[in-house]
């Protein structure tokens, strides 16, 4: 029987010490500590780890943390949305996003050519600059071959970038596939469409890539899912685990609630009813802003794994 323990701060407290203390505070702090421990179990038991996230997280500063996680081999497969890919390319090619306010005057922002994502601002100019940068990339892809799966295309683009904080760069460098089933849902999709109008034999094959993610694991392999937010990125990964016997480990982090009946709010327990997660799996569902919860849980996991010598190449 675990007892509630009063939390006390001490000077110089580490992230690991803080999150370890969460296990005896109560409420969502307990789930957050549990999520860190589940991530550790995934890695220690050599599970194939699927990391999923939505584009707003790439808009934020988590983008660099995702890239670092890939560099440290803490994920084997990535699933995300089109906005996350285009914003990774934007940042890799010099675009800067601005911290604004949740209560900004949106009409005024529109008149100034600024687009708001929560309390973050992206200039419309960044999207016109993206067009200037993506077209030469598409020309290079087309010159190399005419038919691409999405994950193959992303790997090739990643090899063209030179940014240690880029998700595409680190994924390509570490041979980690990135899947994006909704590739057309954003500026990148729009430019792919326009490019295809000029080059009718240019094909980006989403259906073939679905086969690639299914074949990225098997019934015999242990599987773990770290799903940040919901949407198609989360579902694409857990559909893959469903078709391959279910995941042994799962961590969901979301601001959505289970009563919505949505993919974003669906818990790890609900996933068991579908067979996406095994009945006896180690799971945790953390309700809260991923920009807060995920760094805490992952850093705690990384420190546990580093202490045990299971993570190499960590910068001091």
**Which pLDDT tens digit goes with each residue over 12-65?**
999 999 999 999 999 999 999 999 999 999 999 999 999 999 999 999 999 999
Residue 205 has pLDDT above 60, yes or no: yes
Which of the given ranges, 164-168, 261-265, 278-282, has the highest pLDDT on average?
164-168
Of 283, 185, 277, 285, the closest CA to residue 240 belongs to 277
**Which pLDDT tens digit goes with each residue over 149-169?**
999 999 999 999 999 999 999
Class in CATH terms, 46-95+124-290: alpha beta
Of 76, 237, 81, 88, the closest CA to residue 158 belongs to 88
Tell me which residues are annotated as active site: 276
Check: pTM over 0.85? Answer yes or no. yes
Domain boundaries, given as residue ranges, for the chain: 46-95+124-290
Instruction: Determine what percent of the chain is predicted with pLDDT higher than 70.
Output: 99
Mean pLDDT of the chain, nearest integer: 95
Of 49, 74, 84, 46, the closest CA to residue 295 belongs to 74
- Average of pLDDT values for 243-267? 89
């Amino acid at each position: 029987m675990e007892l509630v323990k009063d939390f006390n701060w001490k000077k110089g407290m580490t992230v690991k010490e803080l999150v370890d203390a969460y296990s005896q505070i109560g409420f969502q702090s307990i789930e957050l500590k549990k999520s860190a421990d589940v991530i550790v179990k995934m890695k220690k038991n050599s599970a194939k780890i699927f990391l999923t996230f939505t584009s707003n997280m790439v808009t934020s500063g988590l983008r660099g943390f995702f890239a670092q996680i890939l560099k440290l081999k803490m994920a084997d497969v990535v699933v995300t949305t089109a906005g996350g890919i285009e914003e990774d390319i934007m940042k890799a090619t010099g675009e800067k996003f601005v911290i604004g306010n949740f209560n900004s005057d949106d009409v005024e922002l529109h008149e100034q050519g600024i687009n708001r994502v929560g309390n973050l601002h992206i200039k419309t100019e960044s999207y016109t600059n993206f067009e200037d940068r993506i077209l030469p990339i598409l020309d290079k892809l087309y010159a190399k071959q005419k038919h691409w799966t999405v994950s193959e295309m992303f790997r090739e683009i990643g090899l063209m970038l030179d940014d240690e904080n880029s998700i595409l760069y680190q994924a390509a460098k570490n041979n980690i596939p990135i899947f994006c089933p909704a590739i057309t849902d954003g500026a990148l999709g729009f430019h792919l469409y326009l490019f295809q109008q000029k080059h009718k034999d240019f094909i980006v094959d989403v259906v073939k890539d679905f086969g690639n993610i299914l074949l990225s694991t098997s019934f015999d392999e242990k599987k773990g899912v770290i799903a940040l937010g919901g949407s198609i990125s989360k579902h694409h990964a857990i559909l893959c685990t469903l078709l391959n016997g279910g995941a042994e480990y799962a961590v969901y982090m979301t601001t959505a609630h289970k009563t919505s009946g949505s993919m974003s709010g669906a818990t790890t327990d609900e996933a068991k009813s579908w067979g996406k997660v095994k009945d006896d799996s180690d799971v945790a569902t953390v309700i809260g802003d991923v920009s807060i919860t995920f760094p805490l849980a992952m850093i705690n996991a990384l420190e546990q794994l580093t202490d045990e010598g299971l993570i190499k190449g960590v910068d001091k």
